């Protein structure tokens, strides 16, 4: 039998791409792992790891990066159990209290438990001013020493402060979640995200199109921003993510996967493959 042509091989690769989801949350109503006081947990949502594994299998996603959900606040124990139970399926990103001077030491223990990153979430209001405070430097320094990627859920208004931290810790991998939720109608805020492209250690998740868009699926009005981020950072510093189950009010997991699998056709195939799996493999390597 003749070997398949290069065009046939290319088509096969496109139809069954390797997909690694960079952003999913899991939680469960489990008395062993109670939610934090005041947690606003969506009712009727199955966010268990078992349900996630079903969805991954049905949609051709063999590996996923799990992000500690805010419902547990600083208690990462449920996610630690998931990582221990399914070490070949998941990597995990923990949360630490940015107002706790012991946070760098807590991070050391979390890495011993198998976590591969830390996430900080500075809000736009005064209660997020800690991102410019004295406790950041010990934490960022420890992340740099441990080679633990720093993942940031941040509004664009905090990016100038974050840029100063990036400059101080050039060997630390920094990941900006959800394109910093840059508003589509505010070019100055988008520019503050794009200027971070000058730092080679900064990566961006091109997720949350559904949140930014004013339109229904496939959120076409958000693609100008996506293309601007693509042009600025290049495919080797971009990764996709569903943000399941947070995405569910807007779109299903299956459609979120399809959005990035099928709608990036303005890019060459090689660039799509970087976004599908190459970038996340550089930041959070899986043994594939």
166-218, pLDDT tens digit by residue? 999 999 999 999 999 999 999 889 999 999 999 999 999 999 999 999 999 99
pLDDT, residue 96, reads 98
Confidence tier at 14 by pLDDT (50, 70, 90): low
Which of 36-40's residues contact partners 24+ apart within 8 Å by CB, and which partners? 36/70, 36/71, 36/72, 36/73, 36/75, 39/70, 39/71, 39/72, 39/73, 40/71
Instruction: Please state the rounded mean pLDDT for residues 239-251.
Output: 97
In the block, which residue shows the tokens 């949140």? 211
Domain regions of the chain by residue span: 19-283
Backbone phi and psi for residue 200, each to the nearest 5 degrees, phi listed first: -70, -15
DSSP, residue by residue, 49-101:
HHHHHHHHHHHT--EEEEE--GGGTT--HHHHHHHHH-TTTEEEEEE--TT-T
Inter-residue contact 275 to 241 (CB < 8 Å) = no
82-125, pLDDT tens digit by residue? 999 999 999 999 999 999 999 999 999 999 999 999 999 999 99
pLDDT, residue 287, reads 81
Burial level of 65, CB count in 10 A (0-12/13-18/19+)?
Answer: buried
pLDDT tops 70 at residue 144: yes
pLDDT tops 60 at residue 60: yes
Q: Which CATH number fits domain 19-283: 3.20.20.140, 3.30.420.40, 3.40.50.720, 1.10.1750.10?
A: 3.20.20.140
pLDDT, residue 111, reads 97
Percent pLDDT > 70 in the chain is: 94
pLDDT, residue 55, reads 98
Inter-residue contact 176 to 155 (CB < 8 Å) = no
The angle formed by the CA atoms of residues 239, 243 and 244, to the nearest 5 degrees, is 135
Mean pLDDT of all residues belonging to the chain = 94
């Amino acid at each position: 039998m003749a070997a398949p042509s290069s065009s046939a091989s290319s088509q096969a690769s496109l139809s069954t791409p390797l997909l690694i989801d960079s952003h999913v949350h899991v939680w469960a109503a489990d008395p062993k792992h109670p939610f934090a006081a005041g947690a606003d947990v969506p009712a009727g949502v199955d966010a268990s790891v078992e349900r996630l594994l079903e969805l991954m299998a049905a949609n051709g996603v063999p590996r996923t990066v799990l992000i500690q959900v805010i419902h547990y606040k600083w208690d990462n124990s449920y996610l630690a159990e998931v990582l221990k139970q399914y070490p070949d399926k998941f990597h995990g990103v923990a949360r630490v209290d940015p107002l706790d001077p012991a946070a760098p030491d807590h991070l050391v223990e979390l890495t011993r438990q198998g976590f591969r990153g830390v996430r900080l979430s500075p809000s736009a209001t005064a209660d997020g001013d800690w991102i410019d405070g004295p406790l950041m430097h010990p934490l960022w320094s420890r992340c740099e020493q441990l080679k633990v990627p720093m993942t940031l859920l941040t509004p664009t208004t905090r990016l100038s402060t974050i840029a100063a931290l990036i400059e101080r810790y050039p060997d630390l991998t920094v990941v900006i979640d959800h394109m910093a939720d840059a508003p589509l109608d505010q070019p100055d805020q988008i520019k503050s995200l794009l200027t971070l492209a000058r730092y080679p250690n900064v990566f961006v998740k091109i997720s949350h199109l559904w949140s930014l868009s004013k339109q229904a699926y496939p959120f076409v009005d958000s693609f100008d921003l996506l293309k601007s981020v693509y042009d600025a950072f290049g495919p080797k510093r971009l990764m996709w993510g569903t943000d399941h189950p947070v995405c569910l009010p807007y779109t299903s997991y299956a459609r979120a996967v399809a959005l990035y699998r099928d709608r990036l056709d303005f890019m060459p195939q090689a660039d799509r493959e970087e976004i599908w799996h190459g970038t996340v493999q550089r930041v959070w390597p899986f043994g594939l």
